[in-house]
Structure 1
Amino acid sequence: MPDADRTAEVAPEIRVPVLIVGAGPAGLTASLALSRYGVRHLLVHKYPGTAHTPRAHLINQRTGEILRDLGVADRLREHAAPSELLANHVFMTTFAGFEIARLDAYGNGPARVGDYRAASPETMCNLPQHLLEPLLAQAVEEAGVGELRFGQEFRSLEQDEQGVTSVIVDRASGREYTVRSDYVIGADGARSRVLRQLGIDVEGPTGFAKAVSTWFEADLSRYAAHRPGILYMGTLPGDRVGDLRVFISIRPWNEWVFLSTDDPAAGFDPNDPEAMRDRIHESLGDSSVPITIKNISPWELSSAVAPRYSSGRVFCVGDAVHQNPPTNGLGLNTAVADSFNLCWKLRLVLAGQAGPELLETYHGERQPIGRQAVDRAFRSMLDLHGIPEALGFAEGQSAAEQWRLLGELTEESKEGEARRAALAAATERIEYQVNAHGVELGYRYGSGAMVPDETPEPDRDTDPELFYHPTTRPGARLPHAWLENGRRRCSTLDVTGRGRFVLLTGTEDGPWHEAAREAARRTGVEITVTRIGPGPGLRDPYGTWERVREVAADGAVLVRPDGHVAWRAATGEGAAALPAVMARVLCHPAADVPAGGTTPGTAAHPR
């Protein structure tokens, strides 16, 4: 074949409804969701395969629910380290040395385990990206709707009123070809070329610190199995104040990532495997442990969000539009939710069942959530500096002086008591990293594909970042409640979703079936009416749904395909509004809801 750089073969144009650029968690989730919805698409990825290093790894409950809806949660659980192996967050000098502090983490402590278990049918787990991505790719291949092409580099795009033309290059052959699509999803990570093609860039500090991740194998069960966790953070006297040597459990207890700052003054070359092995041994406090280094990856920390997530027919998801420090583990989880929010909207617009304005709600709903995730992760990173500060560490101190300060933690003296109190206050702030249940599960869309509720916000007596508050207010994720269908247990999340609009009500006889039929007649979108109540069918054996539904038995809660509440009616009197509500949610021409007001009958039942 002639030199590809000079005379690259030009292939015919490819035509698909959706082009996805990037096969990370965001891109593969988008591909799997579109596959489940029957939307033909092409995914192109620059590299020859999925992730080859662990990268992101914490899977929170909301991501577990999304993957449950997409039919792969069982595969996830089969390969992941379960929640109980995430139970601790440890601060130490070295793995073999003095333990400074330990916290209950990710809903495993006695004070929080009930909150997490009550909130979701899924538990948190640890599944690194190099294991997660192949599971998602396999599910896409099995679905047979979309096509995955690796080794294909996105170069540019141009959009017009009818669609988008993208230029792709096969990296092996140099062959250039075009893809004509109705829409493009840019899931190509930080420094996204798709986002730059839109003339958009992220805002906020990027590359403000350098770090090195070293993936290695070593049996550390003697130091970890009795205090199982994901994160073990070392503060070694003599280091630069604020630097942490972090061990991340990848596969308990033999596979790890060692995360350290890339400090030129540290006196070692982080790209030298032997120097890094010595550094890890020093941080372990045990030079006898055999270590096999698998990969060394330098990277940079950022805390930035794009001001716009979309332009015209092009939408960006994941790290392309929000980049945050790894604290809280929100990056991957927020990326998965981005794609899940977008894809049901694409399906309905492509089918002509929703107006194109529905797609504009993607930015309005997801950008504030990305901002919240980035801000929370950045604040959690700063909170970590409170640990060495509480220990009394300061620049200019010798290692011997810092060891003396550490010794005060065990002294029965006023100094020891004060030191322990300072450390307890500092570790309490770390709760916002390891138990931020409200951030992970309780976010709510303030506007978008929903009809707002006219009832006042309820008073809360707990921190909304730490604690999840179940609610059926429009924009919120539908609360989980265990139901019973015959002898089979299922969640409220199992009887909703799957690409459908579902209306939950408590009465069999009533106006809701007729209202749903009229809504479908006007919009072309079917609504599944599901009854939860006494008698045959779905039962609420524990009364949980009755406690959290916030509407009367003859009222209703309308749930979107992504599991978020679109609207609710206090009683059956609100049924007449349902057709107009659906049209409004879908941005459908049949919408006739008065501008600026709520639909009659939408107020929730007072409790």
Structure 2
Amino acid sequence: MSPQINKNRRRSPMSADFNTDVLIIGSGPMGATTALGLATYGVRAHMVSRSAWLADSPRAHITNQRANEVFRDLGIDDEIARFASHWDVMGDTTFATSLAGPELIRMRTWGTGDDRKGDYLRASPCGMVDIIQPLLEPILLQKAAERGANFAFNTEYLGHEQDDTGVTARMRDRLDGREYTIRAKYMVGADGARSSVAEHLDLPITGQMARAGTVYTIFDADLSKYSAHRPSILNWIVTPDASFGEIGMGLLRAVRPWTRWIAGWGFDINKGEPDLSPETIISKIRILIGDPKIDIDIVRTSLWYVNQAYATEYSKGRVLCGGDAVHRHPPSSGLGMNTCVQDGHNLAWKLAYVIKGYAGPELLQSYSAERAPVGEQIVKRANQSRMDYAPLNACFRVPEAENPVAAGIARFQNPGPDGVAARRAVQDALDLKQTEFNAQGTEMNQRYESGAVLPDANAEPEVWRRDRGLYNQATTRPGAKIPHAWIVGADGKRKSTLDVTGKGSFTVVTGLAGENWKKAVEKMHLPFLRVVVIGTSDQQDLYCEWQRIREIDEAGAVLVRPDGVVAWRQSEAVSDESDAHDMLSNALRKVLARNDFNNVEADEAPPYREQTDAPMFA
């Protein structure tokens, strides 16, 4: 049964001066995730887009574990899985002379290899999937609409003014040219890499735009006979028959296995735009496929440019930006859409808490403090991943030869000393590419530092036991997301620690010996605060997994934010309920930038309705 809107859900009071609580400019993954989160938390959101509809090209597709955890928290992970290519299909990444021609090497990628699958399974209840933006964005929009968000397409943002109480945005209906204003308490700029909102805010942007160029062609062709036996969504082509720009290889990316594809290759931007005639495009694609007889149906050809730029601040006053508006980079490492989704998840609960009166406006300062370092990191990582193809290219090239690639491939296949050296070098080059294709740590190891995180007193710097970029490190240290551990409910079914936290609420996680924390939470009567006692019949630690990774005593406590991030923890038992109450109250006041909670109504509706056997929002 599909979810229905909860018409009786309590919403924040609306002044006649405001058309909506939050105005969102842009309907991409960041904007739509923000709208979905706000609607889920009972806050009015209005999202506008200058386009007539959502994404019309595949664009981003890799969906990593942390993004899937966000979708799980928002209750749409099953819907995502319905339309996505499964984790196993993502498979190996191949390097070949053409899709039909001899393979040179393969690489186990996206955590599917025997040596990494266990790391991924231990880190999260969610695997990875591959879902293109034209399939993802309608899901986000539909679920947000079902939960009460509003949308307007063909609507252009022109500018805004803000004051002490809200934002007045100037808009234009692109169908009839009518101009009008929308009044909101806050505005979110999610309008992409050419963000007008970020420009109007004069956000500080560091880096370079359009430093390299790429041709992307979407085409239909049944290539099952070349792919079905070796599932791979990315196929790199090393060929002497064409030159392929900065990366040095052509790309065949499976959009809909194995009948819709993207062919991609680089071009020299200093020489202007390349020849995009159908004859040239089809010729290039045939080189990549390696089968001159294959039927090719061109859908669309476009150019995109490699950016390397990020904002060091994400907000000014009541306007906050996210997504590609503040981090602009190539798709290498598959970090873009995932980071956009996490921007929206981080921001939505904070806006909801401020608007509902649970938190002071200062809470919103933590958004930029937490997400800007992540944006900088992924911009640098994505561009470095492109640079890291150079050692791999060197294995298949002899620069001084008349045809460097043909000579390089011949050397690579030679049984003599030069071939031995090339094959040894390719192993090192593949090891380097682990930082792009199996970079679980880059995707999962965010550590937030902000006013919404209270570090342990006298805490020592975290010691990374393995490579931080490659491996997830589970911890309950404040600033990290709560570790995944399987626990068992009263029905005998297992669930993750991520399933009993988040969902729009703050959660105190303790053990059977932490009775004082349970009593303290119950005494506080806050609608956004709940307690989970692991060890009861509802939350059994039968595998002892939580006990192994919690890093605190059983009678200690971990305070988890609505986005699953640990805000504070107390490692040891407290003497009585009063101490637990005082410590917890103090932590919440600091995290939420409030002096007290005297005007928060105890019987107010919780921020997020729990999933039950009934429709989620019935």
Q: TM-score, normalised by structure 2?
A: 0.90
3-state SS in 2 of match to 1:340: helix
Q: Distance in 2 between matches of 1:392 and 1:418?
A: 13
- In structure 1, the partner of 2:547 is 546
3-state SS in 2 of match to 1:305: strand
CA contact (8 A) 1:483 1:490 kept: yes
CA contact (8 A) 1:365 1:448 kept: no
Task: Please report the RMSD computed on the Cα atoms of aligned residues, expressed in angstroms.
Answer: 1.9
- In structure 2, the partner of 1:452 is 455
How many residues get paired?
573
Q: Which of 64, 71, 83 is matched with 2:68 structurally?
A: 64
Structural mapping, 1:330-409, within 5 Å:
330-394=335-399, 397-399=401-403, 401-409=404-412
Which 4+ residue blocks in structure 1 deviate beyond 6 angstroms?
A: 264-268
Q: Distance in 2 between matches of 1:435 and 1:448?
A: 32
Q: Distance in 1 between matches of 2:171 and 2:372?
A: 28
Q: Distance in 1 between matches of 2:67 and 2:61?
A: 12
Structural mapping, 1:216-295, within 5 Å:
216-237=219-240, 239-240=242-243, 242-263=247-268, 269-295=274-300
Deviations 1:378-404 (A, max 9, x none): 11110012211122342x6422x5323
3-state SS in 2 of match to 1:480: coil
CA contact (8 A) 2:514 2:573 kept: no
- In structure 1, the partner of 2:534 is 532
Q: Letter of the 1:528 partner, please give it.
A: R
- In structure 1, the partner of 2:47 is 43
CA contact (8 A) 1:437 1:467 kept: yes
The range that moved more, 445-454 or 100-109, is 445-454
Q: Which runs of 5+ in 2 are unaligned?
A: 1-15, 598-618
CA contact (8 A) 1:353 1:525 kept: no
Q: Distance in 1 between matches of 2:273 and 2:66?
A: 41
3-state SS in 2 of match to 1:448: coil
Q: Distance in 2 between matches of 1:129 and 1:264?
A: 27
> Quick check: 1:105 aligned with 2:106?
no
CA contact (8 A) 1:583 1:590 kept: yes
- In structure 1, the partner of 2:309 is 304
3-state SS in 2 of match to 1:17: strand
Seq. identity, %: 39
- In structure 2, the partner of 1:7 is none
Structural mapping, 1:380-529, within 5 Å:
380-394=385-399, 397-399=401-403, 401-454=404-457, 455-486=459-490, 487-507=492-512, 510-517=515-522, 520=524, 524=526, 526-529=528-531
3-state SS in 2 of match to 1:205: strand
Q: Distance in 1 between matches of 2:205 and 2:223?
A: 40
CA contact (8 A) 1:303 1:375 kept: yes
3-state SS in 1 of match to 2:283: helix
Specify whether residues 402 and 300 from structure 1 end up closer, same or farther in structure 2 by C-alpha distance, changes over 3 A only.
closer
> Quick check: 1:568 aligned with 2:569?
yes
- In structure 2, the partner of 1:95 is 99
- In structure 2, the partner of 1:595 is none
CA contact (8 A) 1:262 1:270 kept: no
3-state SS in 1 of match to 2:67: helix
- In structure 2, the partner of 1:161 is 164
3-state SS in 2 of match to 1:557: strand
3-state SS in 2 of match to 1:539: coil
3-state SS in 1 of match to 2:207: coil
Q: Distance in 1 between matches of 2:497 and 2:275?
A: 49
Cα deviation for residue 146 of structure 1 reads: 1.3
Q: Which runs of 5+ in 1 are unaligned?
A: 1-11, 592-607
Q: Distance in 1 between matches of 2:350 and 2:522?
A: 21
Q: Distance in 2 between matches of 1:583 and 1:424?
A: 53
CA contact (8 A) 1:517 1:526 kept: no
Cα deviation for residue 236 of structure 1 reads: 1.5
Specify whether residues 63 and 509 from structure 1 end up closer, same or farther in structure 2 by C-alpha distance, changes over 3 A only.
closer
CA contact (8 A) 2:514 2:556 kept: no
Q: Distance in 2 between matches of 1:391 and 1:510?
A: 64
CA contact (8 A) 2:98 2:237 kept: yes
3-state SS in 2 of match to 1:206: strand
Q: Distance in 1 between matches of 2:546 and 2:562?
A: 19
Specify whether residues 388 and 526 from structure 1 end up closer, same or farther in structure 2 by C-alpha distance, changes over 3 A only.
closer
Cα deviation for residue 525 of structure 1 reads: 5.2
